[in-house]
Structure 1
């Protein structure tokens, strides 16, 4: 009888013994973006992890109808919920406040309490460049404080040079004055081997408006002693797609990376990732003293295929993370024309992707090359969101300048998230205009846009130039106060340093030649972009400013003079051919 009862019970419950159920769902964030790589733990499975796929989806086999799951992803709140296998799960993870801020549009500069409608805005558009709006004059009595993001980007000047050398007009949005100033600021000798930033300033005549003054602020970053440079973990991420098959693209980059390799040490680690048709790890982590091995891989590269930039960036970050050096210089160097045609392609998609890596401690340097399909806007976004910097290589000499002469400034940071705030004295200044650091049109249109700081390289001079309308008959000494906000490398504590700027007026003719040249470069930028604030200023006048400052024995100086003359011929042609007369 007992045996018969056991048999009946077995047949009654057998269908549930070993039964399997399938838990399915998708995970998004509170902006609706599908989240890849979310860690999923089930109460019934203990510490065995599962992960969401590329589209945020997941499917997990269970031996019970219901369970409890725990979801976690860096930058998001941990979530626990009860689930039932009969219901498809639509799960939303909420961003932590710091993560949400990373996805906001970045402003280059900001006026405290200023409403967009209260500034005089001048718009320009560019097909391959982020549209920017030129900063206007601000009343100091109403809005005395302005802030702007510091960085070491220099791409604009070499890109402008490329256009002018090819007898072409420069797209207005390609002319970024602060980057053109950055290009020349390295010539100022910096012997600041302390751990402190140093600031100098001068007030002088405004060459294009005799009623105004110029305030030039020069912030010198600490300079790392060569003996104290930390070990580097560098990943060369090189575009070898078909669009790179031109002498001024892949061959130029090969020369550039070989120049950089010559500076590597045994304590440095180098990896190479390529993408063209597919993504490949061309060189696994290798010591910097293996120069022949590194150079042989660089020489072996050839251009072919489409451009899977999205997957290549992911592989490069994974490789950099695997070789991460705590306290070292962990950096990806992306070299491309920016023409991604596989995977995520738009600026917005790339911005969201790279933002996920921003807090990884891995910096991103972008080197742009090429002409015609060059995507400046994409590389600028990648470098800004990737906590890095951006340069444009138009010739081997430029590669040598960026990667050899300015080696430590380009690749070794002394500060991140750096912002300079300037509070003007309304007793001395009636109105002011920040030259350069112009905001993108989409950032201004976004009411949630914020000011995010940039990266400062070792020994870099950050130059800020203001055009000011002085208060007449004022006797106040202090013209402005300045505060620098930044985070030291490998430190989560923000530092704030304060400076005072006195009205140290010097006539333009008595200025140091470096300062004269910087003002001439700013005038060149304004004249090129046909700034409404310099609309009566001519290239001939810019040339006279530059001649007074340039050293005839300095190659960059003589090149600047030639570019100004070339711009004058392009923008003011005088020998146009007359149309032929037709015979009657």
Structure 2
């Protein structure tokens, strides 16, 4: 008995000794400026902390001495061995090559690009990748080009948000391929047994009669509802303080609840939250128990900081633990993208999510909010996570993404999908891919660097080239001796199968007047012109709004809510971006 008492006393003092050291200090630069968001790695506990707004920090540790590593982009990392009861003054030295590396990166990527001509856009703390538009390419020198077919649709709804608030749109927020593919136009079911169907059409370019437009349309098979595999969905919900707005967490809650109401018994849902802390809010629960899932979502409240990195790790772990072989395993990240604890840079998140996707779990990003919306972070996560990305600006968009287009959003039919196209120099003098623009800091644009993405069930993807025909093209169009315009190669792999499959398709010279094109293709053209004008593209002439409205009004289905809304957005944009007055005689 005496031994037991002594053991309990020893255990009591030992437990009280753990965590009794409070490590405090501040971090400054070599110019004596406080540094915030410095990562502080505690080696003994393998835990990551971060400095506050004025470079100060404070946290408990369980050892009297410990090793710490301090790191921040643009500064040399510093490791120290410290007495944890002492106040720490840490100075980080600016990396000698940081400024020069940044400058070289900007100059080497943008060739003959006039930075000074860009409009200065003030969007609060919102972040967008700066994009470099695809240039006009001489076919005789570079006949081959390639691009990924993993097209998101976030740009359209984000642009709509700006126009609805009577604001100009940041040019880099306009991603043309996402705009033209928002409506899922010109869909046709592939033949039985085929994953994809490819179609092409040629027409006169409506904004430059001397050029032609080549339309490429790739349709993915639609999975029958009774054959959709069971779903293992992990809702990763940002409940940090930045989500405390009616257009953020409440909107996400309503959207996710709409999704839950359409789940089947064989589906299951887990909820991981992050906001101050990271936790499993709801353990894997069958779609049969909708009441429990809906109640868990309803009880979510916003507050705290945003430890996105650790939350992503936990969500993937939950998904892996409840993994369904042959099923749809997906993390659904719902956030404004404002990560401020742990790994926060686009590069760090890129590396994190690239490792996590090896588990076979896909990722969907749902973005919300304005003022501090981090579009660039969500783009990175979706691309590297074998996933997709949507921006929810209102309840209608939430219903569209999470209910009406449920199978397109969550059920992939193919992965790592990308396209190579080889133009015929005898028929095409030069070409320009419209949209699918590269990030400013992208590496060399070669086919070997292409990274494809997933394509959802029943998805129609459009790509558009502006081409200049050769004399041979002009003379032989419509005749039996007309040569092919190009050869297209679609590469993809089936989900959970790394074997690459190929489809070869010959693009025929089937030029028709623009008015003879299918209505869906003409509407897609109007949306593309709308996007190019908002983007203030240097490749798009001074086409007036009335010309775009004329094309759209002839093909728009006014009984379709989204198409009718597009006409309204055109009219709003016309007021926000008035046409330039033309000089007399011009």
What SS does structure 2 have at the residue aligned with 1:264? coil
Conserved? CA contact 1:241–1:306, under 8 Å: yes
What's the counterpart of residue 254 of structure 1? 253
Conserved? CA contact 2:185–2:521, under 8 Å: no
Q: 1:185 to 1:273 in 2, by over 3 A?
A: same
Say yes or no: does 1:274 pair with 2:273.
yes
Aligned residue among 490, 495, 511 for 1:489: 495
Say yes or no: does 1:565 pair with 2:565.
no
Aligned mates of 1:328, 1:354 — CA distance in 2: 21
Aligned mates of 1:573, 1:174 — CA distance in 2: 21
TM-score (norm 1): 0.76
Aligned mates of 1:486, 1:134 — CA distance in 2: 26
Say yes or no: does 1:553 pair with 2:559.
yes
User: What is the Cα deviation at residue 187 of structure 1?
Assistant: 6.4
Q: Deviations over 1:502-529 (max 9, x none)?
A: 0111111111110100011111111111
Conserved? CA contact 1:424–1:480, under 8 Å: yes
What SS does structure 1 have at the residue aligned with 2:420? strand
Aligned mates of 1:361, 1:331 — CA distance in 2: 9
What SS does structure 2 have at the residue aligned with 1:391? strand
Aligned mates of 1:266, 1:421 — CA distance in 2: 41
User: What is the Cα deviation at residue 116 of structure 1?
Assistant: 6.9
Conserved? CA contact 1:432–1:467, under 8 Å: yes
Correspondence 1:105-184 to 2 at 5 A: 128-184=127-183
Aligned mates of 1:385, 1:266 — CA distance in 2: 31
Correspondence 1:204-219 to 2 at 5 A: 204-219=203-218
Please tell me the root mean square deviation across aligned C-alpha atoms, in Å.
2.4
Say yes or no: does 1:360 pair with 2:359.
yes
User: What is the Cα deviation at residue 189 of structure 1?
Assistant: 4.8
Q: 1:120 to 1:498 in 2, by over 3 A?
A: farther
Say yes or no: does 1:410 pair with 2:409.
yes
What SS does structure 2 have at the residue aligned with 1:286? strand
What's the counterpart of residue 453 of structure 1? 452
Aligned mates of 1:392, 1:116 — CA distance in 2: 29
What's the counterpart of residue 340 of structure 2? 341
Q: Deviations over 1:82-131 (max 9, x none)?
A: xxxxxxxxxxxxxxxxxxxxxxxxxxxxxxxxx978x8768768761011
User: What is the Cα deviation at residue 188 of structure 1?
Assistant: 3.1
Conserved? CA contact 1:122–1:133, under 8 Å: no
What's the counterpart of residue 236 of structure 2? 237
What's the counterpart of residue 84 of structure 2? none
What's the counterpart of residue 264 of structure 1? 263
Aligned residue among 481, 489, 500 for 2:506: 500
User: What is the Cα deviation at residue 192 of structure 1?
Assistant: 5.2
What's the counterpart of residue 109 of structure 1? none
What SS does structure 1 have at the residue aligned with 2:512? coil
Conserved? CA contact 2:201–2:511, under 8 Å: yes
Conserved? CA contact 2:195–2:413, under 8 Å: no
Aligned mates of 1:540, 1:201 — CA distance in 2: 28
What SS does structure 1 have at the residue aligned with 2:559? coil
**Matched positions, count:** 467
User: What is the Cα deviation at residue 290 of structure 1?
Assistant: 0.8
Conserved? CA contact 2:190–2:197, under 8 Å: no
Correspondence 1:44-83 to 2 at 5 A: 53=46
Aligned mates of 1:414, 1:426 — CA distance in 2: 34
Aligned mates of 2:282, 2:518 — CA distance in 1: 48
Say yes or no: does 1:535 pair with 2:541.
yes
- Which residues of structure 2 form unaligned runs of 5+? 1-38, 49-107, 477-481, 582-586
User: What is the Cα deviation at residue 449 of structure 1?
Assistant: 8.6
What's the counterpart of residue 294 of structure 1? 293
What's the counterpart of residue 442 of structure 2? 443
What's the counterpart of residue 19 of structure 2? none
Conserved? CA contact 2:233–2:270, under 8 Å: yes
Correspondence 1:191-210 to 2 at 5 A: 194-210=193-209
Q: Structure 1 residues 532-541 or 322-331, which shifts more?
A: 532-541
Say yes or no: does 1:225 pair with 2:224.
yes
Q: Deviations over 1:387-408 (max 9, x none)?
A: 1000000001001111111110
Aligned mates of 2:411, 2:191 — CA distance in 1: 15
What's the counterpart of residue 14 of structure 2? none
TM-score (norm 2): 0.76
Q: Deviations over 1:258-306 (max 9, x none)?
A: 1111111111111001111111111000111111110000011111111
What's the counterpart of residue 509 of structure 1? 515
Aligned mates of 2:486, 2:446 — CA distance in 1: 28
Q: Structure 1 residues 323-332 or 180-189, which shifts more?
A: 180-189
Q: Deviations over 1:409-435 (max 9, x none)?
A: 100001111111111111110000000
Aligned mates of 2:345, 2:445 — CA distance in 1: 18
Conserved? CA contact 1:121–1:136, under 8 Å: no
User: What is the Cα deviation at residue 163 of structure 1?
Assistant: 0.3
What SS does structure 2 have at the residue aligned with 1:271? strand
What SS does structure 1 have at the residue aligned with 2:565? helix
Q: 1:480 to 1:52 in 2, by over 3 A?
A: farther
Aligned mates of 2:568, 2:227 — CA distance in 1: 40
Say yes or no: does 1:526 pair with 2:532.
yes
User: What is the Cα deviation at residue 196 of structure 1?
Assistant: 2.8
What's the counterpart of residue 25 of structure 1? none
Aligned mates of 1:523, 1:549 — CA distance in 2: 14
Conserved? CA contact 1:199–1:218, under 8 Å: yes
Q: 1:393 to 1:235 in 2, by over 3 A?
A: same
Q: Deviations over 1:432-490 (max 9, x none)?
A: 00000000011147999921111111111111100000112433331111101111112
Conserved? CA contact 2:491–2:501, under 8 Å: yes
What SS does structure 2 have at the residue aligned with 1:330? strand
User: What is the Cα deviation at residue 195 of structure 1?
Assistant: 3.2
CA radius of gyration, larger in: 1
Q: 1:556 to 1:484 in 2, by over 3 A?
A: same
Conserved? CA contact 1:121–1:135, under 8 Å: no
Q: Structure 1 residues 346-355 or 208-217, which shifts more?
A: 346-355
Q: 1:454 to 1:448 in 2, by over 3 A?
A: closer
Q: 1:192 to 1:559 in 2, by over 3 A?
A: farther
Conserved? CA contact 1:443–1:449, under 8 Å: no
- Which residues of structure 1 form unaligned runs of 5+? 1-33, 37-50, 56-114, 576-584
Conserved? CA contact 1:244–1:303, under 8 Å: yes
Aligned mates of 1:192, 1:265 — CA distance in 2: 28
